Amino acid sequence: MTNNSYSAWSRLFIFFGLLFFATNLFAAIPIREASLQGLSAVEARRKVLAASESFLGTRYRYGGIDRNGMDCSGLVYASFRNGLNYETPRTAENIYNWTEKISTDELQPGDLVFFVTAGARVSHVGIYVGGGRFIHSASDGPSTGVIYSRLDESYWSRTYRGAGRALPLDSEAAQVLADGWSGETGGNPIAGRGEVNETATWANSGLFTGFGAAWSWGGFIEGAPSAFRGVSLLATAGYKWNKYRVGLELRPEWDLALGVFRLPLTLSAGTDIFQGFIGPVYTFGEPSLSISGGERQYTGGGALLGELGFSAAFPQINIQKGMLSLYGELAWQPYRWEEGESFSFKPDFTANFRVSTGVRYLWKL
C-alpha cells in the first residue's frame, strides 16, 4: 500500500474520530467571556446566583424547569437561562462533563458541585453560594424542593463527587467574591466573607412564627350588617416540617353582628395551604343579633366556649425567610339561643358561622 493510501486512511480516521468525539470535546468547554454578552465575570455570577435564589421554595418535580416544580439540573438550567440567557446541558451528568473540573478549595460562589446519590454516575448537582453552602432542588429527605444545604452535612459529604466551573473567574471577580456582594432579588446570597444569608427558607423544617389580619363578612344572612361583620387578628407560633406544620394561634376577633369581642386560643394543623384549627374561646359581652322581630339574645357572653374551623391560603409568595399569602377561613362558634326560644335557621346560623378573608405572613426562626 502506498504512502498516499496510508495518508488518505489517516485523514479519514481523524475525520470520523473528530465527528465521534466532537460532542465530548465541546461539552468539556464551560461558558467563556464571549458568551456573557458584555457582562463581567462577577456580574455573570451575580445574575446566576440571584436567579437561583428566586426559585427558593419551589417544589421538586422530576424533569421540571420552572416555578411549577424543578429537579436539580432543572434549577441549574433555569438559573443560567434566566440569569444569562444561556442554556446548559439538561442532566446532572452532562453538566458535570460540561464544566471545567476544579478542586473543592477553589470553589467560588457561582461554581457547581456534584454528587453521586445513586449508582456510579453523577446524579445530583447544586450551585455553590459560599460559606460551604449550596442551593439545589432536593428530591428526598426532611426538606425537598429548592433549598440551601451544606457540603459538610453527612449525606452530602458522603455522596460528594467534586466541583466544576462553568463561569469565568478573573481577579476582579475573585476579589468581589471574597468581599461579598448583595443578590439582585433583594436578598443577600453572598454576605460578609462568603457566608450565606438564608433568605426565603420557608420550605425548610424548623420553628416559625407569624401574624395576620382578616375581614369578617356578613350581609347575606339575616342579622349580619352588610359586607362588614368585623375584623380578626392572628398571632401564631409553631413547628414546620417539609409538608406539614402545627401551631398555636391567638386570634382576637371583634364581631359587630353580635356586639362581642372574642379571644380564641386554637391549635392548628395541616399543610402550607390547608389547615384545621380548634380551641377554647372566651367571649366578652352579651351576644345578641338584630333581626326583623327585634333583638335575638344568645348565651355564651362571659363564658368559655369553643371554636372549630378550617382555613386555606393562596397564593404563596416567598419573601425573605417567610411566606406571604392571602387566606380564607370558615369557623363555627357554638352560641345557643336563650331558653324559651326555638331554633331559627337564618339568625342562628349567622350567630354561629363566620366567614373571613385576610392576609398573613409566616417566617422561619
**Is 136 part of the annotated catalytic residue set?**
yes
User: What integer is the mean pLDDT of 273-285?
Assistant: 92
More confident residue, 226 or 251: 251
**Is 124 part of the annotated catalytic residue set?**
yes
Strands (E), the chain: 65-66, 69-70, 100-102, 112-115, 124-130, 133-138, 145-150, 160-165, 206-218, 227-240, 244-250, 253-255, 260-271, 274-284, 288-291, 294-299, 304-319, 322-332, 336-337, 353-364
**Is 72 part of the annotated catalytic residue set?**
yes
7: pLDDT strictly greater than 60: no
| Residue 299: other Cβ atoms inside 10 A | 15
pLDDT per position as a tens digit, 54-85: 999 999 999 999 999 999 999 999 999 999 88
pLDDT per position as a tens digit, 195-237: 333 334 565 678 899 999 999 988 667 766 677 889 999 999 9
| Residue 90: other Cβ atoms inside 10 A | 14
Alpha-carbon distances, residue 229 vs 218, 253, 344, 355 (angstroms):
5, 10, 20, 9
- Rounded distance between C-alpha atoms, residue 113 and residue 98, angstroms: 13
pLDDT above 90 as % of the chain? 45
272: pLDDT strictly greater than 90: no
Confidence of residue 30 (pLDDT cuts 50, 70, 90): low
Catalytic residue selected from 45, 46, 47, 124: 124
Catalytic residue selected from 42, 48, 56, 72: 72
More confident residue, 40 or 265: 265
Predicted model pTM: 0.50
User: What integer is the mean pLDDT of 127-141?
Assistant: 91
What is the structure's pLDDT at 365? 79
User: What integer is the mean pLDDT of 335-364?
Assistant: 86
Catalytic residue selected from 46, 47, 133, 136: 136
Domains and CATH numbers, the chain: 30-179 (3.90.1720.10), 206-364 (2.40.160.20)
